[in-house]
Structure 1
Amino acid sequence: MSVILRPGKSSAIEASSLGFDRMTRVELIWLEKQTEFWIRFGNGAGEQILDRSRRIVFFRPGTVFGFVRWAANDYGTVVSRIDIVRAIAAGNSYQTLPFVRPGGEILLKIEGWPKVEEVLRHIDAIESLGIDAADVDPDHWRHVAHWMKAGEAPRLYTAERHAAWLRRREIGK
């Protein structure tokens, strides 16, 4: 049985023809005020809708995305977490992460809603510069993670830093 997917915003096509089976898959769940997993940023290659509350988003190798997980029970929040992950190519080593198959390179992992909110504000600040958060230097996300875990404020990501990253990336090709 083949699965019908929606790549980006175009019409539905067959999964095997695009190689979705070799991509990183992220399962998203939305049960209002109970379990809410969503992609904050990142360019998915397609999606598979499982039912009204679940879908899978596919990412090509090398794509960076922000994955937010929040869950609550009768007593309050039980999980609030953001992971910034780089999708991996088949055969490469990776770190495992719940709801991400097979896994990815974890650039940032922050838990606890106050810190998650700080990361979300940091992402907003980057996007306010006109920079897609998925294109940010991966080392910057590591920097943010380390400084926040140390209880300190990370450096701001600037247009100048981004231009330097783009030049460095171009030279490395």
Structure 2
Amino acid sequence: MNHPPTGAAAMPRHTPSPRDAMTDVELIWIEKRLEHWIRFGRVAAERIMTRKTRVVSFRPDAVFAFARWVANDYGTVHSRIDILRAVRSGEAYTTVPFVRPGGELYLSIQGWAKVRAVLAAIDAVEAVGVDPCDAAPDHWRHVHNRLSIGERPRPYTAERHAAWLKRKAIES
């Protein structure tokens, strides 16, 4: 006669749901004080937590830009932008404030002048007709490295994008 399992064998195994595999980003808006926003990215889900807080979620491998700034009575005291790839379950990742669990970091820049330069680089990618989500990860790393040392990054061109697409096709 077969008896039902007891103890640890009786415990149901947790199988990750699609919700578990998502990367969550907490967005906050407090007028003239604090703002977190997504500059680009394909949001898969959104939850409104309060009038000032919501959480957006990204599927694994989604690329997104997360910008934030804090101000006081005298102006902006902190600004930062990160471009990340949402990781798959079990992958290594870099922790970033307000991003759970974290992501593969392509770019991380602080300081309003440099953040403005990143926003201009994103605009330039869009001007070429490329969704920034689809741009080569190496481009965002290049932008990070050049801006970090005070140099101007090379522009992202249609030719660079075509080369990236060919490389990606070969790698997959």
Answer yes or no: same fold by TM over 0.5: yes
Partner of 2:6: none
Alignment partners' CA distance in 1, 2:71 and 2:141: 28
Alignment partners' CA distance in 1, 2:157 and 2:119: 16
Q: Deviations over 1:120-152 (max 9, x none)?
A: 011101101110001010011001100111111
Alignment: residue pair count: 157
Alignment partners' CA distance in 2, 1:157 and 1:20: 34
Partner of 1:60: 59
Taking the TM superposition and a 5 Å limit, the aligned residue runs for 1:27-106 are: 27-106=26-105
Partner of 1:159: 158
Structure 1 counterpart SS, 2:42:
coil
Structure 1 counterpart SS, 2:155:
coil
Taking the TM superposition and a 5 Å limit, the aligned residue runs for 1:73-152 are: 73-152=72-151
Alignment partners' CA distance in 2, 1:170 and 1:164: 10
TM-score (norm 1): 0.88
CA-atom RMSD, angstroms?
1.3
**Residue identity in the other structure for 2:150:** G
Structure 2 counterpart SS, 1:79:
strand
Q: Deviations over 1:21-65 (max 9, x none)?
A: 321000000111111000000101111111111110101111110
Deviation at 1:74, TM superposition (A): 2.2
TM-score (norm 2): 0.88
Structure 2 counterpart SS, 1:140:
helix
**Residue identity in the other structure for 1:111:** Q
Alignment partners' CA distance in 2, 1:47 and 1:148: 32
Structure 2's unaligned 5+ residue stretches are: 1-16
Structure 1's unaligned 5+ residue stretches are: 1-17
Partner of 2:4: none
**Residue identity in the other structure for 1:164:** A
Alignment partners' CA distance in 2, 1:34 and 1:52: 15
Structure 2 counterpart SS, 1:20:
coil
Alignment partners' CA distance in 1, 2:19 and 2:77: 32
Runs (4+) of structure 1 exceeding 3 A deviation are none
Percent identity (aligned): 60
Alignment partners' CA distance in 1, 2:97 and 2:135: 24
Structure 1 counterpart SS, 2:71:
strand
